[in-house]
Amino acid sequence: MKLLNSKKNNFQKEIDKFLLIRKNKIKFNSSIVSKIIKDVKDNGDKSILKYEKKFSKNNIIIPNPKKIKELIALLDPKVKKAIDIAYNRIYKFHSLQKIKDISYTDKLKNKLEYKYIPLESVGIYVPGSTVSYPSSVLMNAIPALVAGVKRIVMINPGKNGKQNPAVLYAAKKCKISEIYSVGGPAAIAGITYGTNKIKKVDKIVGPGNSLVAAAKKEVFGDVGIEAMTAGPSEVTIVCDKFSNPEWIASDLIGQAEHDELAQCILISKDRKMIDKVRISIKNQLKKLPRKVIATKSLFLNGLLVYINSNKGIINLINKIAPEHLELNIKDYKKIVYKVKNAGSICLGKYAVMAMTDYNVGTNHVLPTNSTAKYSSGVSINEFLKRISYVNLSKKGIETLGPSAITLANFEGLEGHAKSVELRLGRKKFWANKKY
């Protein structure tokens, strides 16, 4: 991992360079994605199966319901219990996010309303190429359930074309019965435009690799997508002399093992602690099953930063806008409320990012690649749309109408003005108009 010192004159340039290099890495050849999407639009299931056979050795689009039941029955009871615990906690937290409708009647007896309406259908993308994520099923589906979405569809490529029993059990917990065993850009295209076997949805959410992210951007407009970039994963950790270097090292490794493009950054005012963490990382990597992935991630996208002031730390965090932020420091209260850009913030030595990935209750589908500067993680809001209702009284239009006419005329929209004029019984404005 590269070490940067804030005292160096070129520090800010080095930070900007580091962040830009990583952003460029996760960019992709959009022409490849566009080609796949067009192929699916033109050839439907045939095209999807072509890509599934090529990349996942899979020849099934819709898994057999009987096979799903059999796989769930074989699942370790301990895993089922863990999913049950996570489900209950995530459901509870997201239930507290419910928003009240607004109803307002003014002095002119105009009634204005603002109502939240659940989406009719949502497709959740659950990655399955290298590992399986039952937690991602819960994080995407539960907010949709709480919001009131009636049709929730799961897109899960599985591993080598086979569905994971834990993923299937999580789907069952979330009342998902419509499952498509496909993945990648082809799956995104299929769920967007529909095929003979795949029914299209109104919105797609959920993290995926760079190609999946690209496909979602490509189809946006034809289908809704979440208002952020979700993946590859990121963590920024701030530690001090009171931190446990082994804990910090394991937190960084825990994020690095996700993906070679995962970004892991450590910030500290204590240079000795940085050195201790670096040594611990080397030792812990030796026994890690996903050592190759984690090592590459830390080498290419890992960063150690020495900063001697809280102000400098805050400024750097807000520049990075990390997906996950751990303030593993004794005086985190001095910093936390000055942090404006982060997907999720863990406070204190026990609040480890890995816990938030599973069963604390908060959502782990979070903005990455600095999109935390303008977006948030998945919540029930992702699955609600808002409709305004206006009931205008006679007194209301008589009082407000003249100023509306003035604005319409100023903007050159005479048709707008006329629609109001007619309701006011005014014809003078239009007397000399010829049509």
Shared domain check, 242 and 93:
no
> Please, what is the angle between helix 11-25 and helix 291-301, to 10°?
140
Q: Is 55 exposed, middle or buried (0-12, 13-18, 19+ CB in 10 A)?
A: middle
User: Are 134 and 108 contained in the same domain?
Assistant: yes
371 found inside a domain: no
> Which pLDDT band, with edges at 50, 70 and 90, does 435 fall under?
very low
- pLDDT per residue as tens digits for the range 270-317: 999 999 999 999 999 999 999 999 999 999 999 999 999 999 999 999
Structural domain contains residue 340:
yes
* Mean pLDDT of the residues in the chain: 91
Distance of CA 75 to the CA centre of its chain: 28
Q: Are residues 189 and 294 in the same domain?
A: no
| Model pLDDT for residues 224-268, shown as the tens digit of each residue | 998 777 767 899 999 999 999 999 999 999 999 988 889 999 999
Full residue range of the structural domain in which residue 300 is found: 2-26+231-360
50 with 153, same domain: the answer is yes
* Element at 28 (helix H, strand E): none
Is residue 144 domain-resident? yes
Res 154 pLDDT > 60: yes
In the predicted structure, residue 427 carries a pLDDT above the cut 90: no
Q: Is 324 a catalytic residue?
A: yes
Structural domains counted in the chain:
3
b/e for 172-187, b at 16 or more Cβ within 10 A? bbbebebbbbbbbbbb
Is residue 416 annotated as part of the catalytic site, yes or no?
no
Q: How far is CA 130 from CA 62, 182, 263, 345, 388, in A?
A: 20, 14, 18, 27, 44
Q: Is residue 303 domain-resident?
A: yes
- Residue position matching structure tokens 């049509």: 435
Whether residues 15 and 69 share a domain: the answer is no
Same domain for 152 and 16, yes or no, is: no
Question: Out of 52, 226, 258, 324, which one is annotated catalytic?
Answer: 324
Identify any residues that bridge with 237 across adjacent strands, giving them in sequence order: 266, 326
Does a structural domain hold residue 180?
yes
Same domain, 66 and 20: no
Q: What's the pLDDT score for residue 244?
A: 96
Handedness of CA 336, 25, 233, 40 (dihedral sign): positive
- 183, 53 Cβ separation under 8 angstroms: no
CATH number at residue 82: 3.40.50.1980
Contact at 8 Å (CB) between 308 and 275?
no
Distance between CA atoms of residues 422 and 435, nearest Å? 16
Domain shared by 49 and 60, yes or no: yes
Is 87:93 a contact under the CB 8 Å cutoff? Answer: no
pTM: 0.89
Nearest one of 159, 135, 198, 150 to 378, comparing CA atoms: 135
What is the Cα 267 distance to its own chain's centre? 25
Catalytic residue among 226, 234, 260, 323: 323
Residues 77, 35 share a domain = yes
